[in-house]
Each structure stands twice: as C-alpha cells, then as structure tokens.
Amino acid sequence: MAEHNVVFYQHRNWVNRNGLPFFIAMKDYAKSFYKSKAWQRCRDAYAKSQAGLCERCLKEGKIVPGEIVHHKVYISPENINNPEVTLNWNNLELVCRECHEREHKGLKNRFAVDEFGRVTATV
C-alpha cells in the first residue's frame, strides 16, 4: 500500500461545530490539481449546474446546500493527470459535508502517522 504525504489546508471560510477553522487534508500529489484554474473553473461550473444543491439529499427529497464537488472515481496518483477522471462531469457529484463524510467514512486507514509523527495518507 503506497503512502503519500498529506498537507492540511483551511477550506474556504468553513468553521467546525466549535467555530474553529475547518481544515481538509490534501494528498501531496493532488495539491497542484486542486489549486489549478482548470479544476476551480470545472468545480464552480459543475456546482452551479446543480443549482448548488446536494445531489444525494435531493434524491431523498431534502433541500440541502452542496459544498463539495466529489469525484465518484477517487483521485489517485495513477489518474491525477487524466482529465477524463478529474474534470469529467460524469465523474462529479455535488454533495453536502455530511454526505461527503458518509462517503469517506467507509474508507479504512486513510491516514497514518509515521515514526517521525508526520501524518501520511494511504491509498
């Protein structure tokens, strides 16, 4: 199983339940992609096309703002440079934080701490 360094970034203006800044973990190989203009334009246009609503909640009849454009096929070092995976609207889904957390909760050992105390992501 490959390990990748993880960098934590403050996500937009989000705060957690305690009013503290909300941070996301970004794998080192994905940092340049998620900061690219191509992704930012794609993400924003896709979210707008979904009227800013969580697609999963909408299917259940709930009106909830979508906050994260999620990749259905997860981004990996092998596909990070493939726009058919990274920028293809058929691989995107606008979800709320709760749905996104539920999606990723099933992933085991997403992060590990190495012998030097550094947080690393596992793939």
Task: Output DSSP code: residue 43.
Answer: H
What length does the chain have? 123
Q: Over the stretch 53-62, which tens digit does the pLDDT of each residue have?
A: 999 999 999 9
pTM over 0.85: no
Q: Over the stretch 23-43, which tens digit does the pLDDT of each residue have?
A: 556 678 888 998 899 999 999
For the ranges 9-18, 24-33, 36-45, 63-72, the lowest mean pLDDT is seen at 9-18
Long-range interactions of 28-32: CB distance < 8 A, separation 24+: 28/4, 29/4, 29/77, 29/80, 30/75, 30/80, 31/7
Q: Where are the domains of the chain?
A: 3-122
